[in-house]
Amino acid sequence: MPFRTWIKADGGFQRKQYYRDVPFRRLWALYAAVFCLFAITGFFGDMMNLGRTPYTVAVLNAIFSGLVALMYLHVGTRLHPNYFALVTVLQIPLWVGFTALASFLTEYYRLQPVSTTSGIRVAALISLVLIIVSYSLFIRFLRGEGKEAFLVRNELELAHGIQKTLVPPVAMKVDGFELYGRSDPSDKVGGDLVDAVQMPDGSTVAYVADIAGHGLQAGIVMGMVKTAALTALLNGNSLSSKEVLLSLMERLNQVLPEVTEAQMYATLAAFSLNPDGTVFYALAGFPPFLVYRNSQKMDRISAEQYPLGLLPISGFTAEAVQLSPGDLVIVVTDGVLEACSNTGEEFGMERLERVISEHASGDLSALSDAILESARSFGRQVDDQTLLLIRRA
């Protein structure tokens, strides 16, 4: 599915952006701590000079050293890393200017060298005070960040509870079919959705939706998608099984651009199950699904359609597949298929088919456990992993 790489939640990029978005009222303690810590180098230089540097020059040297450290800190937290080279180059004229200033002050005000004993004692005492102040400021900064992290964790725990309410495991038996679905988010909150709705005419619509990215933002959009999908299905009572799927896709394609950021989209695999064994399916940017026949034959079924919410298009299509008793439909999101080993190899369809062949005759929940455990033993879970299993009774 070529579209799934358009928008991904990039954790590394988000971490780099974190301090750029933090208000300065939370960073002042960090800046002050770094200033005090590196101001010590000014007095260290005085001690290397046996404490003979005039007090005024030593203090100015400490202030200048602290300011240089703040420039590097500001670049590291607020600006692009390329500015590091600029700051490094600027140090040369700055130190030259400071040396000239120190010489001017010494001559103009006739500053006298300090005695070695007094100079070293004063420099050592001020250095000790700066170390204590710097340590205290670092503790203050860490306590503040810890408080913020605690609040965020509580919010994520609350969102996780909402997630479990919105996306509970699906385990149901309807006229002629047995269904099982589950979604395991990679974070506290995920963007995958699996659901099944029984229609008044006796059919059942089951679907899997995968919101681009993962985390809290995708989870919020997922809740909106579930609401829009339920509304579309309940309003489609008079439609045929095929038309219900088309109406669902049209509705989601219209709603998503209104509630998401630009170029955020959802992929969808939807199925309308009829008591006679006919299953209408519609895929929108979704990986192929598998049909494991009772004859132990495996069919791989795909459909090329754009993801939902990406482009203002219409004309979605749905097709039908006939299931015989014992036949099994397996739908998984790319979080399962793209689980990568340490060598960069993906779990893929072939391994999925082997797992299905080995466990297809068992309970659907056991089959789902086998699929997810195989994917996670093959590679670390980095994306939401969701599956839907449908068996013709």
Residue 9 pLDDT level (bands cut at 50, 70, 90):
very low
pLDDT tens-digit series, residues 37-66: 999 999 999 999 898 999 999 999 999 999
d(CA 369, CA 336): 12
Q: CB-side exposure of 126: number of CA atoms within 13 Å?
A: 23
For domain 168-392, which architecture applies?
A: 4-Layer Sandwich (3.60)
Residue 5 pLDDT level (bands cut at 50, 70, 90):
very low
d(CA 386, CA 211): 12
**What is the 3-state secondary structure of 156-171?**
HHHHHHHHHHHCCCEE
pLDDT tens-digit series, residues 348-387: 999 999 999 999 988 999 999 999 999 999 998 888 899 9
Nearest residue to 382 via CA among 97, 145, 147, 186: 186
How many Cβ atoms from other residues are within 10 Å of residue 276's Cβ?
Answer: 10
> Cβ distance 207 to 268 under 8 Å?
yes
Pull the structure tokens for residue 66. Answer: 């602290």
Helices 216-234 and 241-259: crossing angle in degrees, nearest 10, is 140
pLDDT tens-digit series, residues 258-297: 876 666 789 999 999 998 889 999 999 999 999 999 878 8
Distances (CA, A) of 331 to 86, 208, 352, 360, 382: 53, 8, 11, 14, 19
Query: pTM for the complete prediction?
Result: 0.66
Name residue 210's beta-bridge partners: 192, 267
**Run of H or E including 58:** helix 55-78
Ramachandran region of residue 194, left (φ > 0), alpha (ψ -120 to 50) or beta?
A: beta
Domain ranges for the chain: 2-159, 168-392
pLDDT of residue 255: 87
Nearest residue to 6 via CA among 225, 184, 266, 194: 266
| Number of helices and strands in the chain (H, E) | 10, 11
Instruction: Kindly tell me if the per-residue pLDDT of 164 is higher than 90.
Output: no
Long-range contacts of 149-156 (CB under 8 A, 24+ apart): 156/187, 156/188, 156/189, 156/216
